[in-house]
Amino acid sequence: MPDMPTGQLIRLYRIDRKKSTVNVATHAGITARYLEMIEAGTKTPSLPVLRKIAKVLGVRTSALIGEAPSEDHEGQVNPRLAEIERALFTYPSFVLSGREVEPELSDAAARIEAAGDAWFTSSDAYTEVLSVLADLIVDTERLVHESGRSPESCTQAYKLYRLARGVLKHAGRIDLGTMLADRTMRYAEESEDPLTIAAATWTVGQAILSDDMPHGALDVAMMGAEKLEPLLPDGTPELFSIYGALIQCSAIAATRNGDPYRARELLRGPASKAAQRVGDGKNYHHMFFGPTNVGIHTVAVEVEAGDISDAVRLADTVDINKVASLERRCAFLYHVARAYDHKGNDTAVLVHLKMAEKLRPQDFLYKRDVRSMVSTLAKRARPSYAAEVREFASRIGLLN
């Protein structure tokens, strides 16, 4: 099932629940014809529509975009995931003594930093990071254990698990997100650093968002931001970066709660003010927060809220080259592609997807929502550009 397109998954769950297209469509607030087109793969549902369908069917949204179940360890594309999952069950009582060389703090810090840089700036990010993540987890856990859980070693563990959550989410293992976010926060608390704890709060908020609980994500992110507000008058760029990222998380959560007006106020107000204090080109805690990232989130809010014309208009004002992170650039391109998909502008969808592929080609092997967009595009492409779309779909393994 993880390899199935979204439309087929919806149809299977609908049949399993013994629900008609009319029943599901009515409760999801769409027409039966639109649902039929989604199931046939000729229309790609927006995220708000997908969430409504998931709620009617009684499943998580992630299940409808083909999230890999926990028992799906091996695969043609991601054979490293089983090693990483085994490494996550590293405990002092039966694993940590198996290494011949004792890890050093400086070495672990350098390796974790290198993995983070690769994830955000390398076009081969998945290959480079997944190949080292399992060993990093085992070595860092051993470092924490042998240092007596020193604040310095806990800080490195926080950085590692924060990175791992993002990597594994994009690699299709959303089911591990809660565990990784919990470890991120617990190690952050042991670091005894307020800014590290605040950055870990952002990770928890993101994990809750991915778990289809926007109300909880909004509470967590706003709580984290409010704890930083007394420090803002004398705040450093690092503090404003974390504060702004928490506001951005709150804005996305507010949108998914059905309150895009609050989301816009958060982005135009406190997030934009914080971004001006940070500027572009900064990278605290791998957040890449700044005016351009606020612009990316502004477009995302309009796409999620269904205000497609505003999303396209605002997208024209964002210069993604000001953000060093390839992951952030591609996230923006996917938002814009979804906006044009909603408008039925297939040419623009293809242009933006190919721009993203040029930056991070491996996204198109792992990110199932993006693959679903390409699959849908291939089914409905007009003759004038159908061959180009099919060549693209074949290149990423969707067609023989």
Q: What average pLDDT score do residues 225-230 get?
A: 96
Q: Give residue 28's Cα distance to chain centre.
A: 25
What confidence tier does 360 reach under pLDDT thresholds 50, 70, 90?
very high
User: Is it the case that residue 96 has pLDDT exceeding 80?
Assistant: no
H/E run at residue 204: helix 194-210
- Residues 376, 337 contacting (CB under 8 angstroms): no
Are 188 and 223 members of one domain?
Answer: no
User: Is it the case that residue 32 has pLDDT exceeding 70?
Assistant: yes
What confidence tier does 342 reach under pLDDT thresholds 50, 70, 90?
confident
Are 349 and 377 members of one domain?
Answer: yes
Is the dihedral angle over the CA atoms 333, 338, 339, 341 positive or is it negative? Answer: positive
Are 114 and 162 members of one domain?
Answer: yes
User: Does 261 reside within a domain?
Assistant: yes
Are 74 and 180 members of one domain?
Answer: yes
Which tens digits make up the pLDDT trace of 276-305? 999 998 899 999 999 999 999 999 999 988
Residue whose token pair is 């000001």 = 322
- Residues 295, 311 contacting (CB under 8 angstroms): no
What confidence tier does 168 reach under pLDDT thresholds 50, 70, 90?
very high
User: Does 333 reside within a domain?
Assistant: no
How many folded domains does the chain comprise? 4
Are 169 and 112 members of one domain?
Answer: yes
What confidence tier does 400 reach under pLDDT thresholds 50, 70, 90?
low
DSSP state at residue 102: P
Strand ranges in the chain using DSSP code E only, listed in sequence order: none
Predicted structure pTM score: 0.83
CATH number for the domain that contains residue 24: 1.10.260.40
pLDDT given at position 372: 85
User: Is it the case that residue 200 has pLDDT exceeding 60?
Assistant: yes
pLDDT given at position 1: 46
What confidence tier does 247 reach under pLDDT thresholds 50, 70, 90?
very high
pLDDT given at position 86: 87
Kindly report the average pLDDT of the chain as a whole number.
Answer: 89
pLDDT given at position 72: 40
28 versus 316: the higher-pLDDT residue is 316
Are 226 and 280 members of one domain?
Answer: yes
Q: For the chain, what's the residue count?
A: 400
- Distance CA(288)–CA(178), nearest Å, equals 23
- Distance CA(364)–CA(330), nearest Å, equals 11
Domain that holds residue 237: 214-324
Select from 108, 263, 363 the least CA-distant residue to 116: 108
User: Does 358 reside within a domain?
Assistant: yes
User: Is it the case that residue 44 has pLDDT exceeding 90?
Assistant: no
- Domain final position from 66, 95, 111: 66
pLDDT given at position 167: 95
Are 111 and 224 members of one domain?
Answer: no
- Residues 113, 62 contacting (CB under 8 angstroms): no
Select from 100, 43, 55 the least CA-distant residue to 379: 43
User: Is it the case that residue 183 has pLDDT exceeding 60?
Assistant: yes
pLDDT given at position 259: 93
- Distance CA(338)–CA(49), nearest Å, equals 13
- Residues 204, 185 contacting (CB under 8 angstroms): yes
- Residues 201, 223 contacting (CB under 8 angstroms): yes
pLDDT given at position 144: 92
* Percent of the chain residues topping a pLDDT of 70: 93
Q: What average pLDDT score do residues 394-400 get?
A: 81
- Domain final position from 268, 289, 324: 324
Q: Give residue 12's Cα distance to chain centre.
A: 26
Are 363 and 381 members of one domain?
Answer: yes
Q: What average pLDDT score do residues 87-97 get?
A: 69
pLDDT given at position 101: 61
pLDDT given at position 99: 56
User: Does 117 reside within a domain?
Assistant: yes
Amino acid letter, residue 9: L
Are 83 and 178 members of one domain?
Answer: yes
User: Does 202 reside within a domain?
Assistant: no
- Domain final position from 324, 355, 379: 324
User: Is it the case that residue 219 has pLDDT exceeding 80?
Assistant: yes
Are 355 and 301 members of one domain?
Answer: no
Residue 187: C-alpha distances to residues 140, 180, 344 (Å): 11, 11, 46
258 class by beta-carbon count within 10 Å (0-12 exposed, 13-18 middle, 19+ buried):
exposed
Is the dihedral angle over the CA atoms 396, 168, 308, 51 positive or is it negative? Answer: positive
* Percent of the chain residues topping a pLDDT of 90: 59
How many helices and strands (H and E) does the chain possess?
A: 21, 0
Which tens digits make up the pLDDT trace of 99-143? 566 678 999 999 999 999 999 999 999 999 999 999 999 999 989
User: Does 85 reside within a domain?
Assistant: yes
Are 93 and 179 members of one domain?
Answer: yes
Are 86 and 173 members of one domain?
Answer: yes
User: Does 280 reside within a domain?
Assistant: yes
pLDDT given at position 70: 39
User: Is it the case that residue 75 has pLDDT exceeding 50?
Assistant: no
pLDDT given at position 71: 38
The Cβ-side half-sphere exposure at 238, using a 13 Å CA radius, reads 10
User: Does 12 reside within a domain?
Assistant: yes
